[in-house]
Structure formats: C-alpha cells, structure tokens
Amino acid sequence: MNEPSGNIVTLNGVEKSFGAVRALAGVDFVVAPGECVGLVGHNGAGKSTLMNILAGTLSADTGEIIIGGAPQRNFSVVLAHKLGIRCVFQELSLCPNLTVAENTRVLHHAIAGFGWRTRAGRLISNQLDEIFPEHGIATDAVVGDLPIGKRQMIEVARAFTITDSPLRLVILDEPTSSLDTHRASQLLSYVRRVIGKGASCILISHLLGEILENSDRVVVMRDGKVVAVDRASGFTRDKLVAAMGATAVAKTRSTEATGARRGSTPVRVQARPATQTDSLDLVAHEGEIVGLAGLAGHGQTELLLSIFRASTRGRRFVRRDSRNILPTAQSEARSTVPGAPGLPDIASRSLDDGAKSGVRARSPARNASRSDAGRRSLIRVTDPVALIAGDRQSDGVFPLWSIAENIGIRSIAALRKGVLLSPERETEFAERWQQRIKIRTPDLRNNILSLSGGNQQKALFARALGSEAKILLMDDPMRGVDVGTKLEVYELIRSEATAGRTFLWYTTEMEELENCDHVYVFRNGRIVADLRRDELSEERVIQSSFEEAAHP
C-alpha cells in the first residue's frame, strides 16, 4: 500500500457520510494491474458506496484517490471513464426505452456523427458474442422488452466495450445476480481472460463460492471499514463469513426423510405448466418447501404467476362454483391476454381428480405462455396465496410509502377499525413483524427506500408472512441479499413451514434449494425432473437443466 505507482487504483483514508450515517469510515484500498479483487461484506457494509466513489458517481468527503499513480482532485464520472474505470452497477443502468445499440452509445461519448447506430451496434454485438456466445440478442431490440437476464448480459458486455478510452478496471457489482449458472460461468471465464491480458477487476458478490474461485485477493468490509485482506487461497467460506461478522446461524440441514412425510398432509397446490407435454405436475403439500430449479427464465416465474392468478381469480369464482358443486375447472390455454380478467370457463370439467386428491379447484388459470395455444394448463390452489416478487424495485415495494404501510398492505382487512384503516393497528402489526424478522430501521414510519436492499426484502417477506396466506410463492427473492439476512430468512421459512405453511420457492442458487423438501427442475417451460430431498444434488439439477433427464 506504500508504493501506489504500480497500482491502478489506490484509495487512502476515504470517508463518506450521508447525513448522520457514516457509510465509509476511512477506507484504504488498492487494485494492482492484472488482478481480480473480490469484495465482500453485508448489505450496508459500504461496498456500493466505495464503488460509487471509484466510478466517480459519488465524491468522497475526505481521503485520497490515486488513479494510475496520479492523485485525482475533481474526480468525476467522465474522468473515471477516461482513465479506464468502468462500473456495472447492481441495479441495472440501461435505458429501457432505448435499443441495445443506443444504450451502448450512451456509455461512449465518442460514438457520434453519421453511422453512429451501426458502429454502436457492431461494438456491442461483437462484445456480446465474445462473452456470451449464442446470446440471441438483436442490437435493435428495445431493452425494456427483454427479460432481466438478457438486460444484465447487455449491461455487463457494454462495460467491456472499448472506444476512445482504455479499459483498465471493471467493477462488477453482483454481475451474476440475474444470470443463470451457464451464463454466469461464461462471464466469469471471460473476466479471467481479460485479467490475463492485464486489466483488473473488482468483483462484488454475495455468492462466496464465486468470490473464492475467481478472485486473486479478497477484501472484506464491515461497517464502512476494510476488516480483512488476504489472498483468496487464504480464505475459506467459513472464514469469510466469520470476517463479515455474519449472524452465526449454524446451517441446519434437516435430514429427516421428507419422502415419508409427503402424502400425510393435504395437497395445497397442484400445477402443470401450460407447455408441459406429459403429465408431470408440481405438487406441494401443507408444510412443505418446494423448490423450482433450473436455468433462469425457463418457465418458473410464469408458473408461479399463473398459480397466483389462479388463486386471486378463485375468490370471485368460488361462490358461483359452490352452487354448481363443480369439483374442478379447467381452461383452455388461450392465445389472448394472460393477465386480463375474463369470463370463467366452466365448460370443461376434468373427471380424474378433485375427489381423488382431496383438492377443490378454485379456478381455471390461463396459460402464461402463448406459444402453445391449445394445450392445457391445470392449476389447483386450495388456500390464499401471497407472492414475494423477485424484482423488488418494480414489483415489490411501494416506493412512496413508509415501511409500516409496505408491510401492512397485504393484510389491510385485518388492520381496519370500522370502515377505516387504523394507523395504530398498522404500526402495531409492522412492529410485531419488525421484531420477528429483524428489520433494521430507527423508525417504521420512514420511507421504505431508506432501508438497505436486504432489509427492503425482509419487509416484503414480512408483508407476505404477516398475511393470512397459507401458500407463499417466492420468485427468487433473495437475489443480491447478504448472507446474514439470507440465513435469518431461511430460518424463518423453515419455522413457518413447520407451522403448516407451504412455500413454492424459485431460486437459481443451489444453496437455497438445500432448504427445500422437494425440487422440480424446469427446462424450456416444462418440468423435467422431480427430485426428493435425498435425491437432490447440484449435478442432478444441472444435468436436468441442460438435458432431458429420465424422471421416475
């Protein structure tokens, strides 16, 4: 740290405060050329603030920033870019209304004048080809129309494109959070190639395995300070977790044979994706945690959403149906409007089940994918459902509301006093859940956005768990959440499941699947494997994700 001349970046005693909150309390940090630095720490440890300072989007209160041996005074985004520092921010920084090529132009001030669109398009498509072969992204596609995984691929590829300024350091903040295993490994191997050529990289990830495997050196942050620095080989998972100061919750992998338990409790959810060609169903019993695995974007979210839709629509139908004593209703997957309210199809009845499985269907559900009109999606849900969305910014939080309001919204009927909402009950309700799920905030009346990402996610869990819902759908909600929070939430999920709730959990992380009693692997919109807890292994999941595995 004493010879800054050889380093790409040297930070000395950098401090930054936001109001009363001290985000960085004197950080020393160096990056050498051709080095990948892994940066880990809890949400709120100061990683993102530090990276924002390096990228020039925030300015430090005090401290020294030395880039390429030259101390920087009026450091800015433009200057950082000129000096070869690129940053892929955790929340996506693409303009959804622009095309892929136009978004590339946004980063490169040099691409202007006649033919700029073609040049920008060629630049990004070459880069995408190099990092993610067979990416299937058209450069004239509007970014907002693309799924989140592809958007992240574009964002990452864009950071590596070069025009007039060199590429010396790329900061990747949770670059794989929306990528499936396959794409993530393509990215990480590309990062290693770039480092081999002499560029440097800062990798921030909550996947400690990813950090340990891909970094040369690991920096651990806690409470705005660097608390440990060592070669990656000097760390183990447990050592990292200890250094981060994670709430030490022993990993309780219940080994009880859940195969035996299955069937002893009633079925809560039975669902078959619309694109399913055989009769493999997703079945979830009371008190079970059921995992939905496979590569990202292979129909897991769609199935969760259609289950959710089936349940909300069910409420309206149930009265009508109970008069007809209609055991189940099935609907044609239509080529129209998936989310639109429509008339129920009471035309077709399925004869096989209902009585047999003890399930009463509440509603027909419409197909989520329009590609196979005519096939049937069959969904039965017995109890109220709550959904914990994956994209908390767009589908989860109400950004203008307080934390308490955000928690209470799913349970509004229980928070009434007469016909009006009772603020006291709302606060009381929120406080109960704050203690239960440990949301870190001085005041629940603060705006929800004052919370860190992990705590916002906790508030969303509190919203769902606090409701009357017996079935909880989780659409990969732990994306980008720190280890400590994750372990706390896993614990809570297990205890709620023991108490009789059913969880359907879509996740791309193997670690989370280990909490599940039963795992269904998805591929191309279909369930291709049905694994019991004792059959579950990473190999099995990956194998099934990539090729059709013979299922029992």
Partner 1 sequence: MTSVSGAPAVRSPLAAINVSRRFLRAILPGLSLVLVLAGIAWMNPRAISYFGINLMLNLAIPVALATIAQMFVITVNDLDLSIGTFVSFVACVGATWLHDNPLFGIAVLAAAVGVYALTGAVIYLRNVPSIVVTLGMLFVWQGLAVLVLPKPGGKAPDWLHGLMNLHPPYVPFPIVAALIIAAIVHVGVMQTSYGAILRGSGGNPIAIGRAGWSLLKTKVAMFTLAGVFGVFSGLALIGLTTSADANIGKGYTLLSVAGVILGGGEFVGGRVSPIGAVIGALTLTLAGSLLNFMRISPDWQVGAEGAILIVVLAARALINRTGRGA
Instruction: Tell me which residues touch partner 1 (CB under 8 A).
Output: 55, 57, 76-78, 81, 87, 89, 93-98, 102-103, 105-107, 109, 111-113, 116-117, 134-136, 142, 144-145, 147, 149-150, 179-180, 182-183, 275, 295-298, 302, 305, 336-340, 368-371, 524-525, 546
Which ranges of 234-277 does DSSP label H, i.e. alpha helix? 237-244, 258-261
Minimum CB separation from partner 1 for residue 241, in Å?
A: 30
Minimum CB separation from partner 1 for residue 135, in Å?
A: 7
Half-sphere exposure of 380 (CA within 13 A, CB side): 25
The structure tokens listed for 239 are 């050592």
Minimum CB separation from partner 1 for residue 296, in Å?
A: 5
- Count of C-beta atoms within a 10 Å radius of residue 429: 20
Task: Report the C-alpha gap between 44 and 454 in whole angstroms.
Answer: 9
- Count of C-beta atoms within a 10 Å radius of residue 325: 7
Q: Which is nearer to partner 1, 135 or 225 (CB)?
A: 135
Q: Which is nearer to partner 1, 79 or 229 (CB)?
A: 79
Minimum CB separation from partner 1 for residue 442, in Å?
A: 25
The structure tokens listed for 380 are 């039965």
Minimum CB separation from partner 1 for residue 172, in Å?
A: 15
Minimum CB separation from partner 1 for residue 268, in Å?
A: 23
Q: Is 28 helix (H, G, I), strand (E, B) or coil?
A: strand
Q: Which is nearer to partner 1, 372 or 431 (CB)?
A: 372
C-alpha distances (whole Å) from 91 to each of 223, 295, 458, 474, 550 are: 22, 21, 18, 20, 39
Q: Do 186 and 11 touch, CB atoms closer than 8 A?
A: no
Closest of 438, 378, 351 to residue 403, by C-alpha: 438
Q: Which is nearer to partner 1, 299 or 396 (CB)?
A: 299
Task: Report the C-alpha gap between 114 and 101 in whole angstroms.
Answer: 14
Task: Report the C-alpha gap between 437 and 10 in whole angstroms.
Answer: 39
Q: Which is nearer to partner 1, 162 or 337 (CB)?
A: 337
Q: Which is nearer to partner 1, 12 or 57 (CB)?
A: 57
Minimum CB separation from partner 1 for residue 479, in Å?
A: 15
Minimum CB separation from partner 1 for residue 272, in Å?
A: 17
**Any idea how long the chain is?**
552
Task: Report the C-alpha gap between 347 and 353 in whole angstroms.
Answer: 17
C-alpha distances (whole Å) from 439 to each of 47, 115, 158, 205, 430 are: 20, 52, 36, 22, 10
Q: Which is nearer to partner 1, 268 or 479 (CB)?
A: 479
Q: Which is nearer to partner 1, 135 or 239 (CB)?
A: 135
